[in-house]
Amino acid sequence: MMQFDFHSTRSILVERGGAANLAKIIQARGGKSVLIVTDPGVLSAGLLSQSQQGFKDLGIALDVFSQVQADPPISVIENAVNAAQQCRADYIVGFGGGSSMDVAKLVALLATGKEKLSEVYGVGVAKGPRLPLILVPTTAGTGSEVTTISIVTVSDSEKKGVVSPQLLPDLALLDAQLTLGLPSHVTAATGIDAMVHAIEAFTTKRLKNPISDCLAKEALRLLASNLHRAVRSGNDIEARENMLLGACLAGMAFTNAPVAGVHALAYPIGARFHVPHGLSNALMLGPVMRFNLEQVHFMYAELGQIIQPGLLGSTLDQATQLADYLGSLATELGLPGRLTDVGITENDINQLAADAMLQTRLLMNSPREITLQDAAALYAEAL
Ligand SMILES: NC(=O)c1ccc[n+]([C@@H]2O[C@H](COP(=O)([O-])OP(=O)(O)OC[C@H]3O[C@@H](n4cnc5c(N)ncnc54)[C@H](O)[C@@H]3O)[C@@H](O)[C@H]2O)c1
Ligand SMILES: [Fe+2]
């Protein structure tokens, strides 16, 4: 018997140049005092300027919190919540990559003063209410604009998730023009992150369902056929738009059919060594796929026909070829390909493996159980 539950963002607006209409959209929804949550990189790239002009033109109060850091720590969230309370924001906009959108989600939740960050970690713990929330991605990666998740770096070694339908925004605005200037290494890393979302959603042990499967496959079709183009020619708006949509579809898939081993092993790399999220995933993708081959080779083979049409041989052969191809994708796109390239040595493996074991929320979704010894072996393979 089939039984599943599917959540997504209520409205998704896809429009080139649409960010210029942000103020109009918020005015139509009754917002009067807006806080945009972003990071210094997005601000200095000038990505906010068109939106800001709109607020001036319409006379809507606007404050900008631009102190988000990648892999946001607790202090950043607290500061952003304070900023929202001080300017009495009645509308929150997350404008940037996953880091800015994740902070904005928690600001919308916590600025009401009803819940505390320390009390909302985990699945379904945050109850709301929250302030109205719009998310505007400027990377094509996390899909945070359609996920129920916000990731917080809680210590030098650990990332925790707040997971609740309350964190889905009221509107996601996908404006591909905002992603034109994304540097090629960020395009590559975030694009691989999105591919990993789709692959892990399709092969997850828990909550896989026909809707998430459709979304994951279409996401991979868009991502695999546009990633190289977007990395090579950043100004190719069509490739950028396809990447943004692909990342969004992958987000819709994995928020309902959750990610697993690649993310569980990638998070400690991000937390301890400050390796960008997409790159951490890229480094662990090949080893984890090879580890899962026996359990899900037929699913990998199905995805292989989308990512690399024409793969030949048994499903196990096709799946193996796909794992090898994806394992070398980072290097092919000009990113570091091994853990040693990002400063990780053999001496770090036991600590990383112990950290990964704390990611129980993700490990429980793995198609093959990952023990402490397995985690250490997977890191060793990725060295
Ligand atoms: N909520 C979720 O569902 C979810 C899923 C996966 C990852 N995450 C989290 O998201 C974060 C990673 O997000 P990310 O990979 O999007 O990176 P990011 O938000 O950390 O941004 C990376 C860098 O790119 C810059 N940047 C962003 N857009 C730009 C643009 N258009 N032009 C120029 N520079 C730009 C930023 O200034 C920043 O320096 C991590 O904290 C990760 O844990 C969340
Ligand atoms: Fe991710």
Q: What is the pLDDT of residues 29-58, one digit of tens each?
A: 999 999 999 999 999 999 999 999 999 999
Mean pLDDT of the chain: 97
pLDDT-derived band of residue 355, with 50, 70 and 90 as boundaries?
Answer: very high
Atom of ligand 1 nearest to the CA of 254: 3
pLDDT-derived band of residue 370, with 50, 70 and 90 as boundaries?
Answer: very high
User: Does any ligand 1 atom lie closer than 6 A to the CB of residue 147?
Assistant: yes
Q: What are phi and psi of 101, to 5 degrees?
A: -65, -40
Q: Can you give the pLDDT at residue 257? A: 97
Residue 304, pLDDT above cutoff 90:
yes
Q: Can you give the pLDDT at residue 186? A: 97
CA-atom Rg of the chain in angstroms: 20
Q: Can you give the pLDDT at residue 174? A: 98
Task: Indicate whether this model's pTM tops 0.95.
Answer: yes
- The answer to whether the CB of 98 falls within 8 A of the CB of 254 is no
Start-to-end C-alpha separation, the chain: 43
Category of 313 on φ-ψ map: left (φ > 0), alpha (ψ -120 to 50) or beta: left
Report helix, strand or coil for 309: coil
Rounded mean pLDDT, 181-198: 97
d(C-alpha 22, C-alpha 168), whole Å: 18
Angle between the N-to-C axes of helices 349-356 and 372-382, in degrees from 0 to 180, rounded to the nearest 10: 130
- Which of 139, 200, 281, 362 maximizes ligand 1 atoms within 8 Å of its Cβ, making it the mutation to test the pocket? 139
pLDDT-derived band of residue 156, with 50, 70 and 90 as boundaries?
Answer: confident
Closest CA to ligand 1's atom 39: 41
User: Does any ligand 1 atom lie closer than 6 A to the CB of residue 144?
Assistant: yes
CA angle (289 as vertex; 285, 295 as ends), nearest 5 = 155
Q: Which of 100-104, 129-133, 358-362 has the lowest mean pLDDT?
A: 358-362
Atom of ligand 1 nearest to the CA of 71: 41
User: Does any ligand 1 atom lie closer than 6 A to the CB of residue 23?
Assistant: no
pLDDT-derived band of residue 277, with 50, 70 and 90 as boundaries?
Answer: very high
Q: Can you give the pLDDT at residue 2? A: 82
User: Does any ligand 1 atom lie closer than 6 A to the CB of residue 178?
Assistant: yes
pLDDT cut 90: percent of the chain above it:
97
Rounded mean pLDDT, 235-240: 98
Residue 1, pLDDT above cutoff 80:
no
Atom of ligand 1 nearest to the CA of 178: 31
Residue 229, pLDDT above cutoff 80:
yes
Q: Can you give the pLDDT at residue 15? A: 98
Secondary structure of 132-143 as H, E, C letters: CEEEEECCCCCC
pLDDT cut 70: percent of the chain above it:
100
